[in-house]
Amino acid sequence: MTHSIDLAVIGGSGLYQFPGLENTSRHSVDTPYGPASGDVVMGDFAGRRIAFLARHGESHTLPPHRVNYRANMWALHHLGARRVIGINAVGGIRDDMGPRAIVVPDQIIDYTHGRYTSFCDVEGVEVKHIDFSEPYTASLRQALLAAAQKAGIEVIDGGCYGATQGPRLETRAEIARMKRDGCDLVGMTGMPEAALARELELDYACLALVANFAAGCGDEAEISIEEIFAHLAAATAEVPPILARLLKS
């Protein structure tokens, strides 16, 4: 079952429904890897057809380490998606990546463990050794950056996303280590999503929305969940105009 889909969007924390979708239909997909995070919602936006999936479920019931990333990516691919934008809530490590900043990262370091990281984990499936030197699709990254510029929204080009296990936030020592490793951002959902997209030969890029400074990187002694979601709401409001420009280009 395939549909004409111009773009698939995976919503992270704070983005459980895509605003402005019209003529919507819901699709529950049976996958070989179990259930996806929820129904894929298709609709018209900016004159194009998009598919939207809430990564954590529409009621945020799935913690990062329990998301069925394989099912999610397989479902979007099965429905006809060929370009995917992952919206990820992150913490900022680099000084210029403070709350409400929007970043289009270009690299990943994976600190997660115990997740199903490949479609090759199933017995009898051909083993693929994907080239993951550049984890995000360069052309889609550039299209996102150009769309943000046309929309008049400031985004940061490049940065290394460090993917941690969650759902807890990190210690100061862990963030200090990640900073030494070269990470600019920290999040819990960037992997294995990006690698699975590559295995399916999907174009994939990330819009990282900074909700807070990571532990030890800001002035706050303690990270407030209330403040995180306030910052996240402000950054999330910038997503639809960026994607509208992307779809019109």
In a domain, 56, yes or no: yes
Contact indicator for 228, 234 with CB cutoff of 8 Å: no
Q: Which residues contact 63 (CB under 8 A, 6 or more apart)?
A: 56, 166, 167
Question: Distance between CA atoms of 24 and 3, rounded to whole angstroms?
Answer: 13
Within a domain: 129: yes
Query: Domain residues for 174?
Result: 7-248
- Contact call for residues 242 and 147 (beta carbons, < 8 A): yes
Within a domain: 224: yes
pLDDT tops 60 at residue 1:
no
Our count of domains for the chain comes to: 1
- Mean pLDDT, the chain, rounded, equals 94
- List, as residue ranges, the binding site: 13, 55-56, 188-189, 212-214
What pLDDT was estimated at residue 126? 82
Residue type, 98: G
**Rounded-to-integer distance, Cα 90 and Cα 63, Å:** 14
Which of 184, 139, 132, 191 shows the shortest CA–CA distance to 163? 191
Reported as a single tens digit per residue, the pLDDT across 188-213 is: 999 999 999 999 999 999 999 999 99
pLDDT in tens, 110-155: 999 999 999 888 778 888 899 999 999 999 999 999 999 999 999 9
Summarize the annotated binding site for phosphate as residue ranges: 13, 55-56, 189
- Tell me if residue 76 falls in helix, strand or coil: helix
Q: What is the pLDDT of residue 219?
A: 76
CATH number at residue 71: 3.40.50.1580
Contact 192, 121 (CB under 8 A): no
The reply to whether omega before 99 is within 30° of 0 (cis) is no
Contact 9, 85 (CB under 8 A): yes
Residues of each annotated binding site for substrate: 188, 212-214
| Residue 92 · residue 53 · CB < 8 Å | no
- Is there a domain that residue 90 lies in? yes
In a domain, 2, yes or no: no
pTM of the predicted model, to two decimals?
Answer: 0.94
Assigned domain for 142 exists: yes
Strands 185-187 and 160-163: parallel
User: Is 1 within the bounds of a domain?
Assistant: no
